[in-house]
């Protein structure tokens, strides 16, 4: 039985009274993240040092509370949504850049550092942190690590996992271990690699060593528009097939463009069926050939206009359109659900056609924005929750969207994560044995299941050992 009062007193002793919240308003505020799932919690704590996190973990264990780590709460899959009597450990006050070492092209940061603040701190050294989720102005590095965050620019640079060299992890017994290394390889299994993307289920990240990469010497941004979604998607494949990997290839459909244009006035053509924002970057001399390849692929697929950003202001405006997409959508209907699925990029056309068909069948307005180069789709289902049956229709369509992606050889989530939202879908892509192996990873880190329980894996998943049957023994090679 959870002893919430005892836990609160112990936390106040360890962290200070002002760093522990238990009033109803605070508990309501921290009962959810940016997903649609509503949860509940018993206490919220704000550590300022790794030792504070360790204290939170120990106190939660001693008093029988499950523990849920949280950054800025921008997650869309419910990974930071607490359940039951949880202690929410919010790392936003751990927001210091501890050590930025340009010569090693790395930085140690606390988990609560806002992603864009790190980018800003690295820039004067000619370096940058590549992952750029749309929420980069508010999301934290700790959250980026927990979700293995992506963004528009992972086409060329990879996801968060490729940019985390090491991390200090508070394990479920309160110990702090450094996983990974500042050097190119460390000793042992690459535990760092499974912690990235583990949604707080393996421990709480107390510090992160991120890789910084040189800023590109040049960047050029194009806006292409097409009469059909098919031509737009085919252009994406054609660019890659031509041996060019742009920094980003972002696709938006007609519905998104209309909403964005009314909001951001970025000059997007509202009469096109699809627009493609392409950014190429590199050292001096690398831009021309890439730009020519992009333009020629687009012309071969009947592009209507090719607009090149004339200067940095124009470029920022084009990106404002893309980055404000989520915010602009409130104008279509009172509510919307954002999805995140991924398919092999050559199946984008089938995927988009399938999405519209699903929406039509369920009488839902659907708009779509895609990290097209990665095959990562973010369909939005627009609805009015007050309308009877609307929520149910959205849920039914949502499930079909996930199944569609899987049927095209894709996966249930490209970058938002599994959290609470999608754990029921994991069996679509992982077998019973696959899931059991996943559960083995979890219990290797957290044998008692204290860290963010009921997330990431389906609830019935267990780490079971397979032992050879008697039949196997009788046929054994060495028997």
Partner 1 sequence: MELIHPHTKGDVIDVVREANAAAHRLLPVGGRQHMDKGNPYEVDAELWTTQLDRLVTYEPAEMVAVVEAGMRVGELNAILARDAQEWPSDAPEEATVGGTIAADAQSPRRLRVGRVADSVLEAEIVAGDGRFVRSGARTVKNVAGYDLHRLCAGSLGTLGVLVQVALKLRPIPELRRTLHVPGSLLVGERLLQGVPAAAAVLATPGEVEVRLEGWRDEVERQTEAAREVAPGLEAVDGGPFPAHRAWAEEPVLVEAAVPASAIGTVTEVAGDRWGALLGVGLVWIGLEDPGDALAEVRARVTEVGGIAPVVRGPGGLGDAPLPARDVHARLKAALDPNGVLAPGRFWGGL
* One-letter-per-residue 3-state SS of 129-189: CCCECCCCCCCEHHHHHHHCCCECCHHHHCCHHHHEEEEEEECCCCCEEEEECCCCCCCCC
Our CB check for partner 1 shows the closer of 224 and 405 to be 405
Residue 87 in tokens: 């202690």
Closest CB 340 distance from partner 1, rounded Å: 9
Termini Cα distance of the chain: 51
Pairing relationship of beta strands 86-90 and 67-70 according to DSSP bridges: parallel
Our CB check for partner 1 shows the closer of 167 and 252 to be 167
Residues 6+ apart with CB under 8 A from 159: 131, 148, 149, 150, 415
Closest CB 230 distance from partner 1, rounded Å: 15
- Residues 419 and 157: their CA atoms lie apart, in Å, by 25
Our CB check for partner 1 shows the closer of 91 and 144 to be 144
Question: Burial level of 213, CB count in 10 A (0-12/13-18/19+)?
Answer: middle
Closest CB 331 distance from partner 1, rounded Å: 29
Our CB check for partner 1 shows the closer of 170 and 397 to be 170
Closest CB 298 distance from partner 1, rounded Å: 15
Our CB check for partner 1 shows the closer of 45 and 280 to be 280
- Residues 263 and 407: their CA atoms lie apart, in Å, by 35
Our CB check for partner 1 shows the closer of 31 and 167 to be 167
Q: How far is CA 445 from the centre of its chain?
A: 22
- Residues 173 and 7: their CA atoms lie apart, in Å, by 16
Closest CB 86 distance from partner 1, rounded Å: 22
- Residues 295 and 239: their CA atoms lie apart, in Å, by 9
Our CB check for partner 1 shows the closer of 335 and 339 to be 339
- Residues 315 and 75: their CA atoms lie apart, in Å, by 27
Edge-to-edge order in the sheet of strand 97-101 = 97-101, 106-109, 204-211, 164-170, 176-180
CA 51-141-56 angle, to 5 degrees, is 25
Our CB check for partner 1 shows the closer of 62 and 472 to be 472
- Residues 40 and 56: their CA atoms lie apart, in Å, by 18
Residue 384 in tokens: 């009015």
Closest CB 71 distance from partner 1, rounded Å: 16
Closest CB 390 distance from partner 1, rounded Å: 28
Our CB check for partner 1 shows the closer of 248 and 390 to be 248
Closest CB 24 distance from partner 1, rounded Å: 34
Closest CB 79 distance from partner 1, rounded Å: 10
3-state SS assignment for residue 417 = coil
């Amino acid at each position: 039985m959870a002893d919430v009062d005892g836990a609160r007193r112990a936390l106040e002793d360890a962290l200070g009274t002002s760093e522990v919240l238990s009033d109803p308003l605070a508990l309501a505020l921290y009962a959810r993240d940016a997903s649609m799932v509503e949860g509940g919690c018993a206490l919220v704590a704000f550590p300022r040092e790794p030792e504070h996190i360790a204290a939170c973990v120990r106190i939660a264990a001693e008093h029988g509370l499950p523990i849920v780590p949280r950054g800025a709460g921008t997650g869309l899959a419910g990974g930071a949504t607490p359940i039951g009597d949880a202690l929410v450990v919010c790392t936003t006050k751990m927001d210091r850049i501890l050590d930025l070492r340009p010569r090693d092209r790395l930085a140690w940061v606390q988990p609560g550092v806002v992603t864009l603040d790190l980018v800003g701190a690295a820039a004067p050294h000619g370096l940058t942190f590549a992952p750029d989720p749309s929420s980069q102005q508010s999301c934290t590095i700790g959250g980026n690590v927990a979700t293995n965050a992506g963004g528009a620019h992972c086409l060329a640079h990879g996801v968060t996992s490729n940019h985390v060299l090491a991390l200090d992890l508070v394990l479920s017994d309160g110990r702090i271990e450094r996983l990974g290394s500042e050097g190119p390889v460390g000793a042992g299994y690459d535990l760092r690699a499974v912690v990235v993307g583990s949604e707080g289920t393996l421990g709480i990240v107390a510090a992160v060593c991120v890789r910084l990469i040189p800023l590109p010497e040049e960047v050029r941004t194009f806006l292409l528009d097409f009469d059909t979604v098919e031509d737009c998607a085919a252009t994406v494949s054609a660019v890659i097939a031509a041996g060019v990997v742009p920094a980003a290839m972002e696709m938006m459909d007609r519905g998104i463009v209309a909403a964005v244009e009314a909001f951001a006035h970025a000059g997007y053509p509202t009469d096109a069926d699809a627009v493609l924002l392409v950014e190429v970057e590199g050292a001096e001399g690398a831009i021309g050939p890439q730009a020519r390849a992009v333009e020629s692929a687009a012309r071969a697929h009947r592009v209507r206009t090719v607009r090149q950003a004339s200067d940095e202001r124009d470029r920022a405006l084009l990106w404002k359109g893309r980055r404000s997409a989520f915010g602009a959508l409130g104008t279509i209907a009172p509510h919307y659900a954002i999805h995140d699925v991924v398919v092999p990029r050559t199946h984008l056309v089938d995927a988009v056609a399938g999405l519209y068909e699903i929406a039509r069948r369920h009488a839902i307005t659907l708009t779509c924005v895609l990290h097209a180069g990665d095959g990562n789709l973010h369909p939005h289902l627009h609805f009015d929750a007050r309308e009877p049956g609307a929520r149910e229709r959205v849920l039914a369509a949502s499930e079909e969207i996930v199944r569609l992606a899987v049927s095209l050889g894709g996966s249930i989530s490209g970058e938002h994560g599994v959290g609470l939202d999608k754990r029921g879908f994991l069996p679509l892509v992982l077998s019973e044995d696959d899931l059991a192996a996943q559960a083995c990873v979890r219990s290797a880190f957290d044998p008692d299941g204290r860290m963010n329980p009921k997330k990431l894996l389906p609830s019935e998943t267990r780490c079971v050992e397979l032992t050879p049957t008697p039949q196997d023994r009788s046929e054994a090679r060495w028997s």
